[in-house]
A and B are shown apart, each in its own frame.
Chain A
Amino acid sequence: MAVLVIAETDGANLPRGTLATVTAALALDSEVDVLVLDENADAAAAAASGIVGVRSVIKAGGPGLAGGLAENLTPAVVEAAAGYGHLLAPAGTWGKNLMPRVAASMDVQQISDITEVIDAETFVRPIYAGNALATVRSRDPVKIITVRGTAFAVAEAPGGSASVTDGPEVAAHDSARFVSRELSQSDRPELAGARIVISGGRGMGSGENFELLDRLADKLGAAVGASRAAVDAGYVPNDFQVGQTGKVVAPELYIAVGISGAIQHLAGMKDSKVIVAINKDQEAPIFQVADYGLVGDLFKIVPEIVDAL
């Protein structure tokens, strides 16, 4: 049976997670359709139709798309889902908010955050902050799944030529209203898609000291992240958080600065290709997952790296 990808879109931009979700969908079936639920419907549908491997794009319309509220989107997803064997969405905050609401509406037990497709009903997902990998088989007639973006390659786009058809009309209900959105302004790459990520922990000592990491990030074209401890301490906002309860990243290079390496943090970065740890405590657990370690004062070492570049 065909697979429907519930796409997170941003107008003409296709987030990495959505492209990775298409790859996971193509591992299940060659017939993959994409449902677009974007206020900027035409631009989003045009972008989605360029994803290589997609058969057709279903473009939702209507006043309920504004703000992207799960209360409004859910009935449209349920309507569009008829006839599909699998519904897949990226496991970012957008998909995490929406898909369980869809799943309960369809009396399906969702499978969250899969990292591998074994067969049409069997999937691998991390549990306990990635300290264990569970292989689960679903007995539900329809599988509803969120996909961990870092675990799948991104589908190619543009290059595809999927047809675009008009889909469900999304009504605006008055039980929930969108008020405002404050997105972090940054010229740096997004954490989830960055080739290089530099994260700071409690060892940074203050929010001001993150400037040190900014300088290194600017030189490397890297994104800046943080451990939960640094977020808890108020050094940086929560959207910097890498870990079990924050973002999961798997860049080519991850540099952990002043991060001890709590299990909760490792869950979000241990699949990075090369891990570098800088910490004054040589017993810090971060060194157990690091490919390269430097023991010493980060306030001395980080500027030395900047100078050596």
Chain B
Amino acid sequence: MKILVAVKRVIDFNVRVRVLPDGSGVETDNVKMSMNPFDEIAVEEAIRLKEAGTAAEVVAVSIGPARCQETIRTALAFGCDRGIHVETDQPPEPLAVAKLLAGVVAVENPSLVILGKQAIDDDSNQTGQMLAALLGWPQGTFASELVIGDGAFDVTREIDGGLETISINAPAVVTTDLRLNEPRYPSLPGIMKAKRKPIEARTPADYGVDVAPRLETVSVAEPPPRPPGRMLDSAAELVHILREEKGIL
């Protein structure tokens, strides 16, 4: 079985994001960038399936500016076999990403595509579902467990009220939730080996995809600040305020 994983380069989850003074976006110069945490979970799951002998090859794809190659190298250091970089000036919107991934799938013919359920920059939570729609494949979104069966995958999904299990035929798209696994740290030998693994360079034109945005960002603003709070001395004082001043209790 061949597995394709999609990885996005995003502002590191520990960075305090700052809105640019002109309201055109957020500060990305000299800001630490990392692989989207949910995509790390996707890579880890694929590598575990390879180590278990279930997957024969794992291919990592990233879409965006030249430096996305660093993110692909990270995936290769985890243990992915090779990379594909579809270069664009800006990170495209989810629909365009899904179209490009569908183009990659048409060439690579994987049995399974694993993606993070959402990227922590635009928080859209769309790409996996869109890819499944474009391919006409079933989808197992927000997965907390993935069991590989004979021509089918059993996916346990995190839903608002608890958990749900579905069975989907291969080929399929799976998106990861946080309890699917705990990603490893790439090993030093893994990092060394990653340097020699091939990364194919592609462009949207190779797949005949128009990546022009459909959404125009009118402005980006800081959320309104909350008024400063008060430190209290005792539980009794808290109960008094909530009951008498706020009328909540």
Contacts and interface: CB of A to CB of B under 8 A. Distances in A.
B17 A109 contact: no
Nearest to B117: A245
Interface string A40-82: 0000000000000000000000000001011100100000000
B69 interface: no
B179 interface: yes
Contacts of A99: 129
A130 B179 CA distance: 23
B160 A239 contact: yes
A178 B166 contact: yes
Interface string B130-142: 1111100111011
B95 interface: yes
A307 B159 CA distance: 35
Contacts of A96: 125, 129, 141-142
A309 B162 contact: no
Nearest to A178: B166
B166 A177 contact: yes
A103 B126 contact: yes
Interface string A143-187: 000000000000000000000000000000011111111111000
B229 interface: yes
Contact of A130 (B122, B223, B229, B239): B223
Given A101-B129, A139-B216, A231 B242 contact: no
B187 interface: no
Interface residues of A, number: 90
A232 B177 CA distance: 11
Contacts of A299: none
B200 to A, nearest CB: 25
Contacts of A71: 138-139
Contact of B162 (A70, A239, A264, A294): A239
A307 B239 CA distance: 10
Given A67-B166, A140-B214, A293-B232, A132 B26 contact: yes
A220 B219 CA distance: 41
B139 A232 contact: no
A291 B230 contact: yes
A194 B141 CA distance: 26
Contacts of A245: 38, 117-118, 120, 177-178
Nearest to A300: B235
Interface of A: 67, 69-71, 74, 92-94, 96-105, 107-113, 122, 126-140, 174-184, 190, 192, 196, 220, 228, 231-232, 237-239, 244-245, 247, 252-253, 263-264, 270, 274-277, 282, 287-295, 301, 304-305, 307-309
Among all A-B residue pairs, the 8 with the closest Cβ atoms: A304-B235, A104-B130, A100-B129, A109-B214, A104-B133, A100-B126, A176-B138, A308-B239
